[in-house]
């Protein structure tokens, strides 16, 4: 990636993070105003697609969560493939630290949430909510902090967040599925095989991937497996082989990133971040679901990521990101507790009851704000302690 492309990506991440924050604040503000009934009516309005006897009818909220978020996951698939083949995850040496840190940051929050919700099987369904990191917000915060965050630490955070997303994808596929439809699952498998064939023969017509991808998405949607996984399959299928200096995967990634950053993720935030705080009693914050999410994201993430990373470094298994201090690594670990988009998304899969989902929104909101603010303050303070690190960004 050229310096110009990197600058463009940083700008997109920064503006995208700001757009995401504005959308979340707008949803929060409207949900706690006299306009709340209009907000609820909007996100629950029904839209339908009908072709002959085939029919898809969903609320606007579900079209965003099942449809537009498939494009978000398509971008995630593209990023994962590029990073694994030639990016920050392309070698064992580069991969060891973020992989170990991501596993620690996934297991510890889940264990904390599970401990606090062990006696309630219904609440326990949200065990993975507190294990997810929001790439858009974390990268946006790093872009906002600028040279306060060394380039090596940004690369570590990006790699960790991508591995975190990969773990979340596996969890969604294995644990958050409805009753499976054998026929739809078989047709979805045929669609995935078609995508693999397009990649195998290095087909470079985007329209073919779109057609097969839409077919796969519909089949997966009807199968009981969450439809966003079809987006991941399309992303992984796109070829990275270059002709005339460019690959189809890179072109698709550059084309999709602004749409995902400026429109899709903010729309998801607007549709899912509306939590009614004015009617919330203080006892709600101490409920097992919000408490488990807050403890998992804010405490579990930093303990799991920093603890696992430092253990790997002390044992000589991995090296600390170049030009960074232990304090900066700790600040980055706190930032991984910003779980906004992915945590809310997993929450929508874990809970259909709106009252439980409101508790999820509350927990994710509080934990993400705490993690973002405290992590940023630690990183800023770390530069004052070791000012030379800021020059190495």
Question: What is the secondary structure of 101-144 as a DSSP string?
Answer: HHHHHHHHHHHHHHHHHTT-HHHHTTTTGGG---HHHHHHHHHH
pLDDT in tens, 308-330: 999 999 999 998 988 889 999 99
- Is residue 197 domain-resident? no
The 10 Å CB-count burial string (b at 16+, else e) for 153-187 is bbbbbbbbbbbbbbbbbebbeeebeeeeeeebbeb
Q: What is the pLDDT of residue 5?
A: 57
By CB neighbour count within 10 A (0-12 exposed, 13-18 middle, 19+ buried), where does 283 fall?
exposed
Whether 121 and 296 have beta carbons less than 8 Å apart is answered as: no
- Is residue 187 domain-resident? no
- CA 15 from centre of chain: 17
> Which residue has 């799991």 as its token pair?
304
Residue 294 to residue 204: CA distance in whole angstroms: 45
- Is residue 117 domain-resident? yes
DSSP for residue 57: E
Task: Please give the tally of structural domains in the chain.
Answer: 1
Regions of the chain where pLDDT drops below 50: 388-393
- Is residue 149 domain-resident? yes
Tell me the residue range of the domain where 295 lies.
3-176+226-392
- Is residue 59 domain-resident? yes
- Is residue 320 domain-resident? yes
Length of the chain: 393
CATH code, domain with 115: 1.20.1530.10
pTM here is 0.83
Q: Please enumerate in sequence order all residues whose Cβ is within 8 A of that of 37, keeping only pairs 6 or more positions apart, or say none.
A: none
Residue 213 to residue 207: CA distance in whole angstroms: 10
- Is residue 370 domain-resident? yes
Residue 316 to residue 331: CA distance in whole angstroms: 21
Q: What is the pLDDT of residue 18?
A: 87
- Is residue 190 domain-resident? no
């Amino acid at each position: 990636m050229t310096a110009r492309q990197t600058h463009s990506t940083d700008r997109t991440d920064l503006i995208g993070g700001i757009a995401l924050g504005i959308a979340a604040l707008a949803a929060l503000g409207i949900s706690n105003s006299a306009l709340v009934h209009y907000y609820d009516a909007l996100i629950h309005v029904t839209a339908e697609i009908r072709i002959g006897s085939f029919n898809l009818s969903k609320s606007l909220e579900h079209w965003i969560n099942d449809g537009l978020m498939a494009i978000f996951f398509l971008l995630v698939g593209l990023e994962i493939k590029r990073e694994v083949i030639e990016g920050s995850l392309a070698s064992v040496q580069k991969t060891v630290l973020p992989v170990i840190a991501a596993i620690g940051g996934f297991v510890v929050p889940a264990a904390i949430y599970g401990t606090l919700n062990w006696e309630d099987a219904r609440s326990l369904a949200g065990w993975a909510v507190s294990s997810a990191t929001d790439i858009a917000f974390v990268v946006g915060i790093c872009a906002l902090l600028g040279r306060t965050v060394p380039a090596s630490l940004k690369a570590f955070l990006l790699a960790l967040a991508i591995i975190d997303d990969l773990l979340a994808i596996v969890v969604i596929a294995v644990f958050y599925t409805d009753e499976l439809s054998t026929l739809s699952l078989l047709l979805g498998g045929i669609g995935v095989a078609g995508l693999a064939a397009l990649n195998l023969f290095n087909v470079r017509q985007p329209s073919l991937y779109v057609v097969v991808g839409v077919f796969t998405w519909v089949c997966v949607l009807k199968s009981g497996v969450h439809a966003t996984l079809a987006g991941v399959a399309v992303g992984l299928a796109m070829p990275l082989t270059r002709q005339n200096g460019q690959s189809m995967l890179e072109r698709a990634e550059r084309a999709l990133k602004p749409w995902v950053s400026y429109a899709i993720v903010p729309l998801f935030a607007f549709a899912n971040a509306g939590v009614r705080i004015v009617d919330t009693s203080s006892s709600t914050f101490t409920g097992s679901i919000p408490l488990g999410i807050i403890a998992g994201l804010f405490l579990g993430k930093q303990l799991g990521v920093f603890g696992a990373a430092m253990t790997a470094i002390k044992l000589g298994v991995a090296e600390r990101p170049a030009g960074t201090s232990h304090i900066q690594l700790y600040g980055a670990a706190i930032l991984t507790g910003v779980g906004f988009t992915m945590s809310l998304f997993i929450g929508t899969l874990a809970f259909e009851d709106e009252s439980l989902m409101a508790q999820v929104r509350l927990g994710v909101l509080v934990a993400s704000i705490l993690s973002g603010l405290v992590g940023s303050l630690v990183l800023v303070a770390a530069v004052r302690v070791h000012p030379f690190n800021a020059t190495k960004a």
